[in-house]
Structure 1
Amino acid sequence: MESINESDFSRIDLNLLVVLLVMYQVRSVTQAANRLYLGQPAVSAALKRLREMFNDPLFVRTSQGMAPTPRAEKLVQQFAPLMQGLHRAIFTPEHFDPASDSRSFTIGMSDWVEHWLMPELVAELSACAPHITIKVVVTDPWQAVPLMEQQQADLAVTVGNETSRDLTRENIACAGFSSLWDYRQIPCNGPLTLDTFLRYEHVLVSYRGASESALDNELQQRGRARRVRYVTPNFSALPLLLRRLPLFATVPQGLVHSWCELYGLQAAPVPVNMPDYTLSLLWHNARHEDPASRWLRATVRECITSKLAAQSARVTRPG
């Protein structure tokens, strides 16, 4: 792309180009004035300025009206498509049709959110938005705000409450935690007591490598403690560890149903009070009114609320 000298445009009034195009169409100062809702003197003054700008008569009076000069013919050929494109850019509302438009979106989320949310979301998109591509970037709660401030993703699905003046955070819902284990390693199939919970070692997910969590703080208030055998920033390895070792894992409730089905694990409420987490959408304010971004947020929001409703129904269903 050639560089543009912005100062060159300071001498140009785009309204003059509109007069040029209308004059070319109607070949009459009077008719051009009527078309543009201007007085004849205003159109004559504009035509004078055009002649000075291009150093050419542009239109000469004949018995058939104002005939364009070769210079005017060439200018109209060059300007007409540009002005049409400018008109479309200014006056055509931006539109996004997920059924036909192609677009690539980047979404930030942690690995457990990806495991929980994306199978249903991608299946939904493949049906209603076949040309949409999704790229996930791993984003823990501490990474979400800087990621979105730098606009490295279109949307983040995250927990926590941090934000900034450049971002919008929308809280979707609160959810809790459950404890998981493998019955072949820990023979407990009744209510999970605190004594049983503390008799065995634990695995802990920590995005910053900490060896304690809110669960440990609650235990300390009771004068108790657990032994953490393994600390990882990822949830994905936990089911395989539980199947091989007598360990407990405390995870977001969203993972419980699929992990119990896939890996034959047992689940129970955590035997100490645990604060719920709030699942949120986070996006940059620059994308707030973008039709494609609004569609993405609505689609992700609907998928999350649908999954949480199904999860709640499974928990409350008798039997």
Structure 2
Amino acid sequence: MITNISENDFRGVDLNLMVTLMVLLRERSVTRAAEHLHLGQPAVSGALARLRSLFDDELLVRTGTGMLPTPRALELERQVGQALSDMHVALFQPPSFDPLTVSGTLTIGMPDWIDTWLLPALLAALSRKAPNVRVRVLETDPYTVSDMLAQEEIELAIGAFDQGPPWQRRMALASMTFRCVGRPELIGSGGKMTLEQYIGLPHLLVSHRGAFEGRVDKALATLGLSRNVVHTSPHFSSLPRVLQRVDAVAAVPGGLAPLWEKDFGLLSAAIPLELPTIEIAVVSHATRDKDMFVQWVCDIVREIAPRLATGAPDARLKLSEENVQK
């Protein structure tokens, strides 16, 4: 930001005069400058007179062989010419963007389960395509995401977020269902559960507000049924180890289920209820619409998320291998 200038300094300066000066210095002829500027010769002569008054210098001196620039004019040609060139780029050329050279810190908001499900593949892609960018992840949820975006605590967020305020941009990424996860002896070897078996087990629930009821309970209530929720936590990350040691099950986003099966020896089954799907989106503030890096990252997320949404371990492995090889 320029801080050593006064707005009053520019009151008597016409930008068109600077353009005329550059053409005069290039052509060293009022006649030829007028032709290039598509102006009459008197108009260019008048502009030269105003320039001489502005800079208190002859600028161009007539000689027997033409007009020669003064030392002051040559210095102006260097300085003003560069300034006009920079201004032309700023006004008329779209900014260039190369992720390989961009640097800085990108702050992303996401719930902890998105961190587990999506972040490894996202970081692998960013480390390859934008190696000079640091990534900061802050925890967010549907209740806090709009405030965090508005206060610029985060630049974008990824999660199961509903449509927010008018300024909040929302790009749908993928959808998935909930699955019931627990120890194999609780789920059953076939990975299938009846509704009676499901509600007969103790349940663990993830709630950002500490509630003991969620969307599963709402679906059960329509059938006149209920379940026994024995534990609630705002985080998914602690559940796998709890499920290993406690006779209980948990409803988790389908993308997590195969990861927990592989890493913690748990088993998952379809929940025998009609439940709404989890709609995953990336959201940002309208002020980021022209932020080329943020929009580029959103495109990367939009490429990765659908490929992971099935929760298939081999798809995750394939994506990781591709990120390394490209």
Quick check: TM above 0.5?
A: yes
CA distance in 2, matches of 1:277, 1:5: 55
Task: Provide the C-alpha distance between the structure 2 equivalents of 1:102 and 1:89, rounded to a whole number of angstroms.
Answer: 20
Q: CA shift at 1:10, angstroms?
A: 3.2
Query: TM-score w.r.t. structure 2 length?
Result: 0.87
Question: Does the CA contact (< 8 Å) of 1:144 and 1:158 recur in 2?
Answer: no
**SS of equivalent to 1:8:** helix
2:322 corresponds to which residue? none
Q: Are residues 1:28 and 2:57 paired?
A: no
| Percentage of pairs with the same residue | 38
SS in 1 for 2:184: coil
* Equivalent pair of 1:172/1:301 in contact (CA under 8 Å): yes
Q: Give a deviation string over 1:42-90, Cα, whole Å, max 9, x none.
A: 2112112212222332222222322223332333333222222222222
User: 2: CA distance between counterparts of 1:187 and 1:40?
Assistant: 91
Offset, 1:297 = 1.5
Provide the C-alpha distance between the structure 2 equivalents of 1:6 and 1:163, rounded to a whole number of angstroms: 40
**What is the CA–CA distance in structure 1 between the aligned matches of 2:240 and 2:28, rounded to whole Å?**
80
Q: Which amino acid aligns with 2:122?
A: L
CA distance in 2, matches of 1:55, 1:18: 18
What is the identity, as a one-letter code, of the residue corresponding to 1:189? S
TM superposition score normalised by structure 1: 0.89
Supply the AA of the counterpart residue of 2:215.
A
1:1-319 to structure 2, matched below 5 A, reads 1-183=2-184, 186=186, 188-190=188-190, 191-309=192-310, 311=312
Compute the displacement of 1:230 (Å): 1.7
Give the whole-Å Cα distance in 2 for the aligned partners of 1:217 and 1:88: 58
Q: For the residues of structure 1 that align with 2:3 and 2:133, how far apart are their CA atoms?
A: 33
Q: CA RMSD in A?
A: 2.3
Between the aligned partners of 1:25 and 1:273, the Cα distance in structure 2 is 76
1:165–1:229 CA distance, 2 compared to 1 (3 A): same
255-264 or 127-136, which deviates more: 127-136
Report the CA distance shift for 1:67/1:138 in structure 2 as closer, same or farther (over 3 A): same
- For 1:263 and 1:43, locate their aligned partners in 2 and report how far apart those are by CA, in whole Å: 81
8 Å CA contact retained: 1:95, 1:291? no
CA contact (8 A) 1:182 1:266 kept: yes
2:28, 2:68 within 8 Å by CA — same for their partners in 1? yes
Tell me, yes or no, if the aligned pair for 1:204 and 1:231 is still in contact at 8 Å: yes
**Structure 2 unmatched runs, 5+:** 316-326
Q: CA deviation at 1:114?
A: 1.2
Aligned to 1:11, the other structure's residue is in SS state coil
Change in CA separation of 1:70 and 1:239 when aligned onto 2, cut-off 3 Å: same
